[in-house]
Structure 1
Amino acid sequence: MTIPSWPPSPPAASLLRLGFAGTGWIGLNRMEALLKSGLARAAMLQDPCEDMIAKARTLAPDAEIAASFETLLEADLDAVVIASPSGMHACQAIAALESGKAVFCQKPLGRNGGEVRAVVETARKADRLLGLDLSYRHTRGLQAIRKAIREDRLGKVFALDLVFHNAYGPGKSWFFDKAQSGGGCLIDLGVHLVDMGLWLLDFPKIKQVCASLHSGGSLLTPEDRAQTGGAVEDHAAAQLRTENGTMLRLACSWHLHAGTDAVIRADIHGTQAGASFANMAGSFHNFETRLLHATTSELLCGPPEDWGGLAAVQWLKKLANGGKFEREAENFCAVSDILDCIYSV
Structure 2
Amino acid sequence: MTQQALFKSSPETALARPRLGFLGVGWIGRHRMQAILGTGSVDVAAIADPSADMAAEAGKLAPEAKLVSSLDDILDLGVDGVVIATPSAMHAEQSIQALERGVAVFCQKPLGRNVAEVQAVVDAARKADRLLCVDLSYRLTEGMRRIREMINSGEVGRIYAVDLVFHNAYGPDKPWFYDPALSGGGCVMDLGVHLVDLALWALNNPGVGSVSGKLFSGGAPLKDVTSQVEDYAVATIELETGAVVQLACSWKLQAGCDAVISATFYGTKGGVSMRNVNGSFYDFTAERYRGTSRETLTMPPDEWGGRAAADWASRLAAGERFDPAAEELVAVSRVLDRIYGR
Aligned to 1:8: none
Aligned to 1:219: 221
Q: Secondary structure at the match of 2:340?
A: helix
Q: Secondary structure at the match of 1:168?
A: coil
Q: Secondary structure at the match of 1:344?
A: coil
Aligned to 1:342: 339
Please state how far the C-alpha of 1:244 moved relative to its aligned partner: 2.1
Aligned to 1:174: 176
Aligned to 2:5: none
Greater mean alpha carbon deviation, residues 65-74 or residues 262-271: 65-74
CA contact (8 A) 2:59 2:67 kept: no
Aligned to 1:4: none
Greater mean alpha carbon deviation, residues 126-135 or residues 67-76: 67-76
CA contact (8 A) 1:195 1:335 kept: yes
Q: Secondary structure at the match of 1:23?
A: coil
1-structure distance, mates of 2:152, 2:135: 24
Q: Secondary structure at the match of 2:263?
A: strand
Amino acid at match of 2:280: S
Runs (4+) of structure 1 moved beyond 6 Å?
none
1-structure distance, mates of 2:130, 2:311: 15
Aligned to 1:261: 258
2:21 paired residue among 19, 24, 30 = 19
Work out the percentage of aligned pairs sharing the same amino acid. 52
2-structure distance, mates of 1:198, 1:109: 17
1:114 paired residue among 108, 113, 116 = 116
Please state how far the C-alpha of 1:323 moved relative to its aligned partner: 2.8
Cα deviation code 1:244-290 (max 9, x no counterpart): 21000000000000100000001111111111100000001100000
Q: Secondary structure at the match of 1:123?
A: helix
1:293 paired residue among 280, 287, 290 = 290
1:313 and 2:310 correspond = yes
Amino acid at match of 2:33: M
2-structure distance, mates of 1:85, 1:73: 19
Please state how far the C-alpha of 1:171 moved relative to its aligned partner: 1.4
Aligned to 1:51: 53
Q: Secondary structure at the match of 2:149?
A: helix
Q: Secondary structure at the match of 1:115?
A: helix
Q: Secondary structure at the match of 1:95?
A: helix
Amino acid at match of 2:279: G
Cα deviation code 1:114-145 (max 9, x no counterpart): 00000000000000000110000111101101
Larger relative contact order, structure 1 or 2 (CA cutoff 8 Å, min sep 6): 2
Amino acid at match of 2:253: L
CA contact (8 A) 1:263 1:282 kept: yes
Aligned to 1:326: 323
Give the alignment of 1:1-345 within 5 angstroms. Answer: 14-221=16-223, 224-225=224-225, 227=226, 230-344=227-341
Size of the alignment, in residue pairs? 328
CA contact (8 A) 2:167 2:249 kept: yes
Greater mean alpha carbon deviation, residues 169-178 or residues 304-313: 169-178
Task: Kindly name which structure, 1 or 2, has the bigger radius of gyration based on alpha carbons.
Answer: 1
Please state how far the C-alpha of 1:14 moved relative to its aligned partner: 4.3
Amino acid at match of 2:102: G
CA contact (8 A) 1:102 1:323 kept: no
2-structure distance, mates of 1:306, 1:117: 31
**TM-score computed with the length of structure 1 as normaliser:** 0.93
Amino acid at match of 1:164: F
Please state how far the C-alpha of 1:15 moved relative to its aligned partner: 2.4
2-structure distance, mates of 1:71, 1:137: 33
1-structure distance, mates of 2:53, 2:174: 15
Aligned to 1:10: none
Q: Secondary structure at the match of 1:73?
A: helix
Q: Give the alignment's Cα RMSD to 1 decimal.
A: 1.1
Where structure 2 has 5 or more consecutive residues not aligned to the other structure, the ranges are 1-14
**TM-score computed with the length of structure 2 as normaliser:** 0.94
CA contact (8 A) 2:156 2:268 kept: yes
Amino acid at match of 2:330: C
